[in-house]
Amino acid sequence: GAVVSQHPSWVICKSGTSVKIECRSLDFQATTMFWYRQFPKQSLMLMATSNEGSKATYEQGVEKDKFLINHASLTLSTLTVTSAHPEDSSFYICSASVLAGTGELFFGEGSRLTVL
């Protein structure tokens, strides 16, 4: 199946700094990528839908200025957590869909963010 690479897997940062997480589709073009946040023992919470070449669509309650999403190419989307605080600590997962598919998503391995 299609491969989605997410980097970094783990990141620890100080409060107030910004962290960038990359999501790449390695062997297919992804017009749409999704960013999720997962709290311990909970399901995935969709944060935003990222479309190549256009602004991301954020879910209700997700701060656009806090979680900056850029989808500059058909194979790369980035999530930047700006001015991170301890409450932003979480597991962030990206997913991508193939250009013409049936809704099947391919997921990155996830990024564990810990803000001190």
Partner 1 sequence: AQSVAQPEDQVNVAEGNPLTVKCTYSVSGNPYLFWYVQYPNRGLQFLLKYITGDNLVKGSYGFEAEFNKSQTSFHLKKPSALVSDSALYFCAVRGDSNYQLIWGAGTKLIIKP
Residues that bind partner 1 (CB under 8 A): 1, 4, 6, 32, 34, 41-44, 46, 49, 91, 93, 95, 97, 101-110, 112
SS3 94: strand
- Round to whole Å and give the CA distance between 41 and 65: 27
Query: Of the two residues 82 and 110, which places its CB atom closer to partner 1 in the complex?
Result: 110
Is-contact 76 44, C-beta < 8 A? no
Query: Of the two residues 66 and 112, which places its CB atom closer to partner 1 in the complex?
Result: 112
To partner 1, the closest distance from the beta carbon of 64 in angstroms equals 18
To partner 1, the closest distance from the beta carbon of 57 in angstroms equals 10
Is-contact 69 1, C-beta < 8 A? no
SS3 87: helix
Residue 15: HSE in the Cβ half-sphere, 13 Å Cα cutoff: 4
Query: Of the two residues 16 and 59, which places its CB atom closer to partner 1 in the complex?
Result: 59
To partner 1, the closest distance from the beta carbon of 83 in angstroms equals 25
